[in-house]
Amino acid sequence: MINKARMRILLVPFLVLILMALLLLAERTGLQFKSEANDVLFLPKSVTSIMRAEQEDECLMLVDSASDITLVFRKQMEDVLDSMRIGYDVVDASSNSLPELDKYRTVVITFSNLDILSDDIMELFEWVDDGGGLMLCCAPSPTTVFQVIKQKLGILESGYSYVNVEGMQFTSDFMIGAKGISYMWDTAWEASLGVNLLESCNVHVTSIGDNSAPMVWDYRYGNGKVVVNNHSVVDKGARGLFAATYSLLEDVIAYPVINSSTFFLDDFPAPVPMGDATYISRDYNRSIESFYSNIWWPDVLEIADKYGITYTGVVIENYYDSTEEPFTRNMDIERFSYFGGMLLENGGEIGIHGYNHQPLVTSAFVYDDSINYNTWENMDLMTMSLNELVGFTKSLFPDTNISVYVPPSNILSNEGRQVLGTRLPGLRCIASVYVAEDIQFEQEFEVSADGIINLPRIIAGCLIDEYMEWAAMNELNFHFVNNHFMHPDDVLDVDRGAALGWEAMKKDFDSYLTWLYDTAPTIRNLNATQAAAAVERYDYLSVKREISDSKYKLSLGGFYDTAYLMLRFNNGEPGKVDGGTIEHLEGNLYLLCASQAEITIEIIK
């Protein structure tokens, strides 16, 4: 009996060791983990088969067909208003009189020379006085008409020259995450008219330079509102600024947003990254492979745990450059199984990046001289490589639905796009970039005609430079979105911060995340498939708005189960909400979560 008891005692630690070994083996294979993305519900055909309803015309956009300035500001405002679901009419003020203004809530002027409106300018301000909202999209020219009406714009006095602007300083909380932040420009230029304002103006942005000038302000004129953009900042990354300034025009306004924060790990899992190990050896005295397993990956997981991040990793099967048959399967699967399995275990998902890192382009595509990639002879070879990649990935993670594709180096040709849309069943989302450089594949947050959802990434890497900060802040205010990607080999590339070392890179990335989640603590952390489903719901949404003294009513076309809208109260505060819930973001901005298509919000004044 004593011997049997001793044997049982000895067996306990032995069995524990066996169990731990089995768990470690299972973790390294990754086969037991399932992707939560399988549970994501995309919209049914009953919703997607119906065209999005056209918006009622709320805004009159005035353009000057003879002005180059109008071209860029008209394009900017069309993109902004379309995304905000604001219907608008466009009138060429250089050859037409103003239409009947009473049918509009707002008027947007996309040119600087106000003399074009000399015959209609007083009628326009009578309409503002009666309760209309007028927005100037760009710095006005100091013309005759401007001198006559400048006090109606909130300007006390003005000069005839423009101020040299080196950057911009946000002085109010009219955009979330912006107050107190400054953005410097690479090159200073004369961007803002030198003016002094009436004390009753609300200044939101001022210029940085020897002679500071107000760059964005609003002014109450009679029963209406005037908003002036006294600058020439107009690029895709500034859409959030224009959405915010437009939203100052009415007492209450709501517009659809996506509400998602998504993080991609490009080239992950993949073979051991190639690159210069100088700085890894300097800081850690390790090989590249050991660094990634023992330093980088645990740190990346710790960041995810700290901020609730859900990573989407996109697989590269190998780094061979061939774009010809055969597309041989990679049999060295240990890294893929280990990292992919842990990614799934930690709530992430797996998408695809490429059989190798050669973008899906044919010989007709022209690369930049600095890019050393091959092309594909035809679409059939592209298809074969993708089929091999999907088969490889499914062999390792059979329970994972592969619905996300990221183009290598964010480069994709029309032929490659056609392959993805017609020859890869199950693919729902392509994630490239929002603001393209050179030949990159640029996207909008939208659903393409073939049903593929576009999920562009906004910022990249661990070292978030000033322009990326600018773009991130704008997109948080425009779509309420954060979409970021990084590569494991960032830490091997001097251009991406390798010389600073991983610790410095990690610290900079953490600073950005602290700003993001302090600014938007309840933004939804989603993987790419979940974010794509959110974009789909956003894209099919239309909005009808009605306002009275005590209520703000919204009717949402294309509503399915949940919708999110940015809500601004310029006059009053929100009270009781029927059909949804709201949370305060910053200043007079709120996030509305709609649980039904009809929403009524009480206005408390």
Phi, psi of 222 (to 5 degrees): 60, -130
Which residues partner with 456 through β-bridges?
none
End-to-end alpha-carbon separation of the chain, Å? 85
Q: What is the pLDDT of residue 234?
A: 94
pLDDT of residue 160: 93
- Mean pLDDT by runs of 10 across the 605 residues of the chain is 40 39 38 39 92 94 95 98 98 96 98 96 98 98 97 96 96 97 93 97 96 97 98 96 98 98 98 84 94 97 97 97 97 96 97 98 91 96 98 97 97 98 96 96 98 98 96 98 97 95 98 98 97 98 97 97 98 98 98 98 97
Instruction: Give the 3-state secondary structure of residue 152.
Output: helix
Q: Locate tokens 């010809």: which residue?
A: 324
- Among 397, 414, 320, 413, CA closest to 358: 320
Alpha-carbon separation of residue 486 from 265, 313, 601 (angstroms):
5, 10, 41
CA distance 249 to 152: 15
Query: Global pTM?
Result: 0.93
CA gap 501, 274 in Å, rounded: 17
The Cα–Cα gap between 255 and 83 comes to 8
Nearest to 113 by CA among 67, 71, 152: 67
Question: What pLDDT score does 15 carry?
Answer: 40
SS (H, E, C) 69-133: HHHHHHHHHHHHHHHHCCEEEEEECCCCCCCCHHHCCEEEECCCCHHHHCCCHHHHHHHHHCCCE
Going edge to edge, which strands form the sheet with 542-547? 542-547, 551-557, 598-604, 573-578
Residues 6 or more apart in contact with residue 563 via CB below 8 angstroms: 256, 537, 538, 541, 556, 593, 594
